[in-house]
Chains A and B, each alone.
Chain A
Amino acid sequence: MIAVELRKLLLRPRTWISVFMLCLLPTVVAVFLAVTGIGPRPGQGPTFLAAVLSNGQLYPAAALGIVLPIFLPIAVSVVAGESIAGEASTGTLRYLVARPVGRTRILVAKLVAVTVFTLLAVVAVAGTGYVSGVTLLGANELAATTTTTVSGTPLDSRQLTVRTVLMVLYIGLSMLGVAAVSMFLSTLTDSPLAAALGGLGVLVGSTVLVGLDAAESVRNWLPTRYWLAWVDLFRDPILWRDVERGVLVQAIWTGVLLGAAWANFSTRDVTS
């Protein structure tokens, strides 16, 4: 069933279109930066963007910073919201259950497919970010083999690779939290659109509350609270505190919501 879900994911034109769109925006941004040489002032605009003009090798991180707040969650939420509700709305869910495929197995296979999509998207954005960063913005010419951290200290390529991989995993996990919300909603409704938009609604709500001082008491447990903590991976030394908390918060959200999705789906009548 897992192999079948992956085949379905890869055979679906939408998968590739959304990955392409995700890669397109950072590339367009890189072209503008390279042509004009005008970057946002440090501390303003999307994360990292100020730093990349002097160092194209940091552009994968900047590219993810560009798509992270909106585009990546949208893409992940659409795929996750589609998982059960999409099968229900095409009517294929009844044939899967009657085939018979166990309901837990369906859910696990869907989760694997969503995870693969998330990693595919994150890696694709980071990859095109690297290519466009190095070709358009140029590697750091002062030291061809080293690059600098946000803290200004040098970073060799091996360190940079390790940190980039950690970043991809951290963002992947954050997106899994998004996916869990939409997958849970996807087991409640037969409309994939409602599930995807519901997931985004939760994110917008979370973002509003994180920015609200009056919500101090809960905000450290909100799903978007530590989303940008991956920037700390590019400090020297790595600032682990927020990253660790972020992993914990995402793990809790993901675990609880997937548990709820399983409990709901495995006891629900399939009437679509």
Chain B
Amino acid sequence: MAGIGDPAIRTRGLTKRFGSVVAVDDVDLEVAEGDRYGFLGPNGSGKTTMVRMLLGLVFATAGEVEVLGHPVPRHAAEALRDVGALVEGPAAYPHLSAATNLSLIDAAGPRHSRLPRGDRRRRIHEALEQVGLDGIGRRPVKAFSLGMRQRLGLAAAVIRRPRLLVLDEPTNGLDPQGIQEVRALLVALNEAGTTVFLSSHLLAEVEQLCSRVGVMDSGRLVVQEDLAGLRRPTGRAVVRVGDPAAARDLLRERVAVVDGDRLVVRDIGVDELTRRLVEAGIAVHEAQPERRSLEDTVLELTGPGSDRVAG
């Protein structure tokens, strides 16, 4: 049974082979309840196969999957009833309206996981409102734009107020305002207790939303850490000064990089650096400890995506 304190997602030694190709190789993933987990990796690194195994779509070659304390796929009915998902783009019956589509997918589930009949209409309206589609009316989905379909897919994922959201590229096809809205929605849901598992190759998206990060590369989980840990200071300081040449003369070999008026300086704290520059009469516009960006970390940890086929 699922107990308090069980992780939302836990895999042990999870492996998937398609013929001779190892898509996922011995992955131990752990997502705690309440996390905002960012799942990163280049194209073809096994992210989608992982997501599909979590949802019982693809059967593992070896290893175990537990979602909300229940094994998948053996007890998928218990595990997945409190999970909302968006996998590889939204999908809907094109000749039906948004509301009919939501109603059908909800009614398709096992009896104990359906919304009560009387509640369903209200929840459909609420979900459409949450994703900004409440004015959509009876238009069939085939007349929807890419962004509208994406929003409908999100509505289907959040309609039953799931404990866990598994989202694969949820902002695909959305404009900047749309991305902002989705981010706000996910933060609000997370604050209300929903665990968010976000698979993406958009580093900025993960950086802005997630508190914990896992990075896949060629089927392996190469890192799983808090975002803050990945972005810890490098020990160097970055300053922008009025007179770069003077600053360079002052600091000499401590200057690692000069880029216009921006200097990267090693072996010195920000406070000490600022004081010395000011004492030397050099104007300091900006000074801060250097942090690695998520991009640097990910690029360092991963190889090129499988869609790059160089000669």
Q: If the complex has contacts A95-B85, A271-B52, are A90 and B109 also in contact, measured as CB distance less than 8 A? A: no
In contact, B108 and A99 (Cβ under 8 angstroms) = yes
- Asked whether B129 is an interface residue with its Cβ less than 8 Å from the other chain, the reply is no
In contact, A7 and B104 (Cβ under 8 angstroms) = yes
Residues of B within 8 A of A267 (CB): 59
B106 closest partner in A (C-beta): A99
Docked CA distance A92–B81 (Å) = 17
Other contacts beyond A94-B52, A270-B57: 11, CB < 8 A: A90-B94, A91-B91, A92-B93, A94-B88, A95-B91, A96-B108, A98-B56, A98-B80, A100-B77, A101-B109, A271-B52
- Asked whether A13 is an interface residue with its Cβ less than 8 Å from the other chain, the reply is yes
Query: Which 7 residue pairs are nearest across A and B when measured between Cβ atoms?
Result: A91-B91, A98-B55, A100-B80, A270-B57, A269-B58, A4-B108, A99-B109
**Dominant secondary structure of chain B at its interface with chain A:** loop
A11 closest partner in B (C-beta): B96
In contact, A96 and B105 (Cβ under 8 angstroms) = yes
Docked CA distance A264–B77 (Å) = 20
15 interchain pairs, CB-CB under 8 A: A4-B108, A8-B104, A11-B100, A92-B91, A94-B52, A95-B85, A95-B105, A97-B55, A97-B57, A98-B55, A98-B56, A98-B57, A98-B87, A100-B110, A102-B76
In contact, B77 and A102 (Cβ under 8 angstroms) = yes
Residues of A within 8 A of B80 (CB): 98-100
A268 closest partner in B (C-beta): B59
CB distance from A254 to the nearest CB of B (A): 25
Residues of A within 8 A of B34 (CB): none
- Asked whether A256 is an interface residue with its Cβ less than 8 Å from the other chain, the reply is no
Residues of A within 8 A of B79 (CB): 100
B81 closest partner in A (C-beta): A100
Residues of B within 8 A of A91 (CB): 88-91
Residues of A within 8 A of B110 (CB): 100-102
A3, A95, A100, A267 — most chain B CB neighbours (10 Å) = A100
- Asked whether A12 is an interface residue with its Cβ less than 8 Å from the other chain, the reply is yes
Docked CA distance A98–B110 (Å) = 11
CB distance from B73 to the nearest CB of A (A): 9
- Produce 1/0 per residue, B49-65, CB < 8 A to A: 00010011111000000
Residues of A within 8 A of B57 (CB): 94, 97-98, 269-271
Question: B-side interface residues toward A, CB under 8 Å?
Answer: 52, 55-59, 76-77, 79-81, 83, 85, 87-96, 100, 104-105, 107-110, 113, 156
- Asked whether A248 is an interface residue with its Cβ less than 8 Å from the other chain, the reply is no
CB distance from A264 to the nearest CB of B (A): 13
Q: If the complex has contacts A3-B107, A12-B95, A90-B93, are A100 and B59 also in contact, measured as CB distance less than 8 A? A: no
CB distance from B293 to the nearest CB of A (A): 34
Docked CA distance A91–B101 (Å) = 13
B56, B80, B92, B96 — most chain A CB neighbours (10 Å) = B56
In contact, B109 and A100 (Cβ under 8 angstroms) = yes
- Asked whether A150 is an interface residue with its Cβ less than 8 Å from the other chain, the reply is no
Docked CA distance A110–B197 (Å) = 32
CB distance from B84 to the nearest CB of A (A): 9
Residues of B within 8 A of A99 (CB): 80, 105, 108-109, 113
Residues of A within 8 A of B109 (CB): 99-101
Q: Which of B56, B90, B95, B96 contacts A97 (CB 8 A)?
A: B56
Docked CA distance A96–B93 (Å) = 12
In contact, A101 and B108 (Cβ under 8 angstroms) = yes
Docked CA distance A90–B96 (Å) = 13
- Produce 1/0 per residue, A94-114, CB < 8 A to B: 111111111000000000000
Docked CA distance A3–B111 (Å) = 12
Docked CA distance A12–B93 (Å) = 10
Residues of A within 8 A of B88 (CB): 91, 94
Residues of A within 8 A of B95 (CB): 11-13
- Asked whether A263 is an interface residue with its Cβ less than 8 Å from the other chain, the reply is no
- Asked whether A208 is an interface residue with its Cβ less than 8 Å from the other chain, the reply is no
Docked CA distance A4–B56 (Å) = 21
- Asked whether A21 is an interface residue with its Cβ less than 8 Å from the other chain, the reply is no
Residues of B within 8 A of A101 (CB): 108-110
